[in-house]
Amino acid sequence: MQARLIRFFALLTAMILIFLPSLADEAQTTTLTLKDLRENAPEGTFLAPGESPVITQDSYQSENIAIQIKRVRDEESSSDVTIADIYVSSVAYLRRGFPLGKWKGEMRSLKTIANESNAILAMTGDYSSLLSAGLAVANGEILLNKGNNLRDNCLILADGQMVTYRRREMDLSEVLDDGLTHSFLFGPALLSNGEAITSFDSKIRGTNPRSAIGYYQPGHYCFVLVDGRSKANRGMTLVQLSRFMQELGCKTAYNLDGGQSAVLWFNGEVINKPYKGGRRLTDIVYVPLDTADTQGK
């Protein structure tokens, strides 16, 4: 009897060791040291410590966050574009959110996810929870870690850098050692060395409503929302969006989920004109309200 028990536990231990690596492919937490990025922002960008946040119709300013909303008409594409210019003191204030805090939970409206996440600004994410391959990381947690040759990747590092990789160019083992806070998996990348890309082979390269995230320098980003699929707004092709992000001065830019999912939300309100009012989402990228418990959310 004792011998059988010993054999049983030996077999059980062996099975656990076999399955541990596959379990580790998802839901690992990386150890991050977040860099203070205040030195990259112009003087006066942030409020002094202890000052209460200031909110207007088109702006939000606190000791760690500065957001300015701007709306422009792009005549080339015949589309309205809403731009949220964002400064944060660290990438703790640039986050990803999911319905009820669950990566593979039920889909919800952007408004619902944003309110649950205590967001001041939010935009549609990359729907990576519906994909079976690639690298998905949110708030330092590795959610999916499997090889992928079909999609470009966008990474945001603990030091504030945002980098993109064209498909088949990224080495998973290397990037996981870089202090990874987020990895997006929709794409494609929109700029190459800061220059517009003139051709894409994506299936979504026609005119559409668009959501994109742009990067200027560590701590300085933008959310860009292009309205489309209506008489008033055609939407942009990927080539047009690429050129637009270059004209904004972005060094790196990445296309997120668009179409009916393209929604931008600020201070409790949807501030663009989503196609058919938008739809339920699997995830958002957002800036939280600047409160003492921000990093614990």
DSSP state of 144: E
Taking residues 272-285, report their average pLDDT: 96
Q: What is the pLDDT of residue 53?
A: 96
> pLDDT-based confidence at 296, cuts 50/70/90?
very low
Residue 114, pLDDT above cutoff 80: yes
Residue 35, pLDDT above cutoff 70: yes
Per-residue pLDDT tens for 196-218? 999 998 888 899 999 999 999 99
Q: What integer best gives the mean pLDDT of the chain?
A: 88
Per-residue pLDDT tens for 229-270? 999 999 999 999 999 999 999 999 999 999 999 999 999 999
> pLDDT-based confidence at 32, cuts 50/70/90?
confident
Q: Are 121 and 286 in contact (CB under 8 A)?
A: yes
Residue 221 exposed, middle or buried by CB count within 10 Å (0-12, 13-18, 19+): buried
Q: Are 125 and 256 in contact (CB under 8 A)?
A: yes
Q: What is the pLDDT of residue 181?
A: 95
Q: What is the pLDDT of residue 31?
A: 59
Q: What is the pLDDT of residue 205?
A: 84
CA dihedral 124, 130, 136, 142 (to 10 degrees): 120
Choice among 152-156, 158-162, 169-173, 261-265 with the minimum mean pLDDT: 169-173
Residue 15, pLDDT above cutoff 70: no
Residue 194, pLDDT above cutoff 80: yes
Q: What is the pLDDT of residue 295?
A: 42
